[in-house]
Chains A and B, each alone.
Chain A
Amino acid sequence: MTLILFVHQDASLEGEALQKQMIESFGEKTIQMVHTFNALKHILKQPGGCDQEVYVLLAESPRRLQELFCLIDLLDGRRIVLILPDDAKTTVSKAHLFYPRFFTYINTAYDDLCAVLYKMTNTKTPIKEGKNGK
Chain B
Amino acid sequence: MTAIQSDISHISRVLIIDDDEQVCDILATAFSRMGHSASYAVTLHRGLEKIMSDTIDVVFLDVNLPDGNGLAAIKTIQQMPAAPEVIIITGNEDIDGAELAMRSNAWDYISKSGSYKECNFALDRALAYRRQKRSQKSAFPVKREGIVGKSRPVLDCLDKVAKAAKHHMPVLITGETGTGKELFSRAIHANSSRSRAAFVVVDCAALPDHLVESTLFGHAKGAFTGADTSQTGLMKMADKGTLFLDEVGELPLSVQKNFLRAIQEKQFRPIGAAHEITSDFRLICATHRNLPDMVKDNSFREDLYFRLFSLHIHLPPLQSRKSDVAALVHAHLSRKYDRSNGKGVTVSEDFLEELQTYDWPGNVRELINTLDLVCSDAGTGDTLFAHHLPAHIRAFHIRSKFRTSSSAAADPAAAGTPLQFKEYMEKMKLAYLQDLLSAARGDIPECCRRSGLSRSQMYRLIQQHNFKIS
CA distance A130 to B224 in the complex (A): 9
Q: Is the CB of B208 within 8 A of A116?
A: yes
In the complex, A132 has a CB within 8 A of chain B: yes
Q: How far is the CB of A91 from chain B (nearest CB, A)?
A: 11
CA distance A92 to B211 in the complex (A): 19
Task: Given the known inter-chain contacts A74-B339, A96-B199, please indicate yes or no for A47 contacting B210, CB distance below 8 A.
Answer: no
In the complex, B277 has a CB within 8 A of chain A: no
CA distance A100 to B208 in the complex (A): 16
Q: Is the CB of B365 within 8 A of A51?
A: yes
Residues in B with CB closer than 8 Å to A133 are: 223-225, 271-272
A-B contact count (CB 8 A): 80
* Chain B residue with the shortest CB-CB distance to A100: B201
Residues in A with CB closer than 8 Å to B88 are: none
Within 8 A of B (CB), among A79-104: 87, 92-93, 96, 99-102
Q: Is the CB of A45 within 8 A of B339?
A: yes
In the complex, A10 has a CB within 8 A of chain B: no
* Chain A residue with the shortest CB-CB distance to B371: A47
Q: Is the CB of B203 within 8 A of A101?
A: yes
Q: How far is the CB of B232 from chain A (nearest CB, A)?
A: 7
CA distance A48 to B215 in the complex (A): 30
CA distance A52 to B227 in the complex (A): 32
Q: Is the CB of A96 within 8 A of B210?
A: no
Residues in A with CB closer than 8 Å to B187 are: none
Q: Is the CB of B182 within 8 A of A99?
A: yes
Q: How far is the CB of A39 from chain B (nearest CB, A)?
A: 15
Q: Is the CB of A115 within 8 A of B208?
A: yes
In the complex, B469 has a CB within 8 A of chain A: no
Q: Is the CB of A132 within 8 A of B210?
A: yes
In the complex, B74 has a CB within 8 A of chain A: no
Interface centre among B206, B232, B271 (most CB of A within 10 A): B206
Quick one: CB contact mask for B316-358 with A, threshold 8 Å, 1 for yes? 0000000000000000000000011000000000000000000
In the complex, B135 has a CB within 8 A of chain A: no
Choose one: B201, B213, B365; the contact of A99 (CB below 8 Å).
Answer: B201
Q: Is the CB of B376 within 8 A of A87?
A: no
In the complex, A26 has a CB within 8 A of chain B: no
Choose one: B201, B210, B232; the contact of A115 (CB below 8 Å).
Answer: B210
Choose one: B186, B203, B207, B226; the contact of A111 (CB below 8 Å).
Answer: B226
In the complex, B198 has a CB within 8 A of chain A: yes
Q: Is the CB of B182 within 8 A of A47?
A: no
Residues in A with CB closer than 8 Å to B339 are: 45, 73-74
* Chain B residue with the shortest CB-CB distance to A76: B146
In the complex, B231 has a CB within 8 A of chain A: yes
Task: Given the known inter-chain contacts A47-B376, A92-B237, please indicate yes or no for A131 contacting B210, CB distance below 8 A.
Answer: yes
Task: Given the known inter-chain contacts A73-B339, A115-B211, please indicate yes or no for A132 contacting B224, CB distance below 8 A.
Answer: yes
Choose one: B201, B223, B237, B372; the contact of A48 (CB below 8 Å).
Answer: B372
Q: Is the CB of B211 within 8 A of A109?
A: no
Residues in A with CB closer than 8 Å to B369 are: 47-50
Q: Is the CB of B231 within 8 A of A87?
A: yes
Quick one: CB contact mask for A92-134 with B, threshold 8 Å, 1 for yes? 1100100111100000010110011011100000001111111
In the complex, B8 has a CB within 8 A of chain A: no
Q: Is the CB of B208 within 8 A of A45?
A: no
Q: How far is the CB of B360 from chain A (nearest CB, A)?
A: 15
In the complex, A46 has a CB within 8 A of chain B: yes
* Chain A residue with the shortest CB-CB distance to B369: A49
Residues in B with CB closer than 8 Å to A50 are: 365, 368-369
Task: Given the known inter-chain contacts A46-B376, A93-B198, please indicate yes or no for A132 contacting B231, CB distance below 8 A.
Answer: no
CA distance A102 to B225 in the complex (A): 21
Q: Is the CB of B207 within 8 A of A102?
A: yes
Residues in A with CB closer than 8 Å to B201 are: 96, 99-101
CA distance A134 to B207 in the complex (A): 17
In the complex, B373 has a CB within 8 A of chain A: yes
Residues in A with CB closer than 8 Å to B272 are: 133
CA distance A5 to B116 in the complex (A): 71
* Chain B residue with the shortest CB-CB distance to A131: B210
Q: Is the CB of A129 within 8 A of B225?
A: yes
6 closest A-B pairs by beta carbon, nearest first, are A47-B372, A133-B224, A101-B203, A47-B376, A96-B198, A131-B210
Can you sample 15 A-B contacts with CB below 8 Å?
A47-B373, A47-B375, A47-B376, A92-B232, A96-B199, A96-B201, A101-B201, A102-B215, A112-B211, A115-B208, A115-B211, A116-B207, A119-B207, A131-B214, A133-B223
User: Chain A residues in contact with chain B, CB under 8 A?
Assistant: 45-51, 73-74, 77, 87, 92-93, 96, 99-102, 109, 111-112, 115-116, 118-120, 128-134
Please give 18 more A-B residue pairs, beta carbons under 8 A apart, in addition to A120-B206, A132-B210: A45-B340, A46-B376, A47-B375, A73-B339, A74-B339, A92-B232, A93-B198, A96-B237, A99-B201, A101-B201, A102-B206, A116-B208, A116-B211, A130-B224, A131-B211, A131-B226, A132-B223, A133-B224
